[in-house]
Structure 1
Amino acid sequence: MSTPCPSVLLVALSSAEEQAQCRALRVRDEQSDFIASNSESLEQAADSPWCEPLAVRALHSGEMVGFLMHALDPDENSRWIYRLMIDHQHQGRGYGRAALRALLAYLQQLPGGPGVALGVAPENIGARRLYAGEGFVETGEVIDGELIMRRMLV
């Protein structure tokens, strides 16, 4: 029997304090090669108006447990998930799956095509398993060394 996902809120990072909390989140050391740091991601978002960075907060406590960022690719008219990370202290509790599900529900409400894509390091077996479990399919495309996975939003 599977454990239900915890409930999460996706919240805009609207203050310097929230951004500092986000920058302090870390993945496990062995995962650090799989994802850009949150500092780098926030810098990218500041330079890219099409990116939307969001904090992942545990609904029961309000604590920031992770970070994600998505964007609309105007050339493809599809959404991309650029980042999804859960702090090392909160991994293994279902927050990643809950955040992904919350983001997919959110993206369905936004303009753009019905597809969503993401890139994942080939060695990141846990992430590939998570995404496949939520309907993402590896396309055979590789961009900057990452496997591309896609799924429909509807």
Structure 2
Amino acid sequence: MKSTPPASPVITLRTITLENRRAMFNLEVTEEQRQYVASNLSSVASCYVLATNGAQPFPFIIYADEQPVGFVMIVYGTTGYDEPSFAVDNYCILRLMIDKAHQNKGYGRRAMAQITAFIRTFPAGSAECCWIPYKQDNFAAKKLYECFGFRDNGEAFNGEAISVLQL
């Protein structure tokens, strides 16, 4: 008798609640990756600052079935930082992380599919593109973004390369 392989977990984006916030704050990247992404606590605090300054942040916990495995922060509009001029009325994936215990399982790629699908619903308004800043030596991130159609545009944001996806 042939056994069936276990089904892959379903990846979903969920809003932060009182019940799941602590689990999200405990998600961490590896020591080596800390140079690439802010902590989730810092990111959630940034959401408040962004919202009070006119941007529309969308922070989500990334779940694999019922297990929190990552975090993403999408922003619509200007972030208030020294950003590229095209940031106005466009989306930005400002933060994206998968917890160190859940990396190399395909969750980042599957989460990115959910993230881009969410952005293409234009939840805060129409847009021409989505952009994502990343450190140029973060080759894994660059490869992931390119798989989804993001292309470097030669500009920088806070010393990071900018990759753009036309919507």
Q: Do the structures match in fold with TM over 0.5?
A: yes
Matches within 5 A, 1:3-42: 7-15=10-18, 17-42=19-44
Matched, 1:115 2:141: no
Query: Post-superposition shift, 1:112?
Result: 2.2
Query: Post-superposition shift, 1:7?
Result: 2.8
Q: Tell me what 1:43 maps to.
A: 45
Query: Post-superposition shift, 1:133?
Result: 1.2
Secondary structure (helix, strand or coil) at the match of 2:20 reads helix
Query: Post-superposition shift, 1:6?
Result: 5.0
The structure with more radius of gyration: 2
Matched, 1:52 2:58: yes
Residue 141 of structure 1 aligns to which amino acid in structure 2? E
Matched, 1:132 2:132: no
- Between the aligned partners of 1:112 and 1:20, the Cα distance in structure 2 is 33
Cα distance change, pair 6–117 in 1 and its aligned pair in 2 (3 A): farther
Matches within 5 A, 1:138-149: 138-149=152-163
- Between the aligned partners of 1:79 and 1:137, the Cα distance in structure 2 is 15
Query: Post-superposition shift, 1:48?
Result: 2.2
- Between the aligned partners of 1:139 and 1:66, the Cα distance in structure 2 is 27
Percent of residue pairs bearing the same amino acid type: 29
- Between the aligned partners of 2:147 and 2:115, the Cα distance in structure 1 is 15
Alignment partner of 1:99 out of 97, 103, 111 = 111
Q: Tell me what 2:4 maps to.
A: none
- Between the aligned partners of 2:43 and 2:130, the Cα distance in structure 1 is 19
The one-character-per-residue Cα deviations of 1:35-72 (angstroms, maximum 9, x if unpaired) are 1111100111122221111000002xx10000000011
Matched, 1:80 2:82: no
Residue 101 of structure 1 aligns to which amino acid in structure 2? A
- Between the aligned partners of 1:119 and 1:56, the Cα distance in structure 2 is 19
Q: Which runs of 5+ in 1 are unaligned?
A: none
CA contact (8 A) 1:13 1:19 kept: yes
Residue 47 of structure 1 aligns to which amino acid in structure 2? V
RMSD (CA atoms)? 1.6
Secondary structure (helix, strand or coil) at the match of 2:93 reads strand
Q: Segments of 4+ in structure 1 off by > 6 A?
A: none
- Between the aligned partners of 1:10 and 1:77, the Cα distance in structure 2 is 22
Q: TM-score, normalised by structure 1?
A: 0.90
Secondary structure (helix, strand or coil) at the match of 1:20 reads helix
Paired positions, count = 147
Query: Post-superposition shift, 1:77?
Result: 1.2
- Between the aligned partners of 1:67 and 1:138, the Cα distance in structure 2 is 23
Secondary structure (helix, strand or coil) at the match of 1:48 reads helix
Query: Post-superposition shift, 1:140?
Result: 0.4
Q: TM-score, normalised by structure 2?
A: 0.83
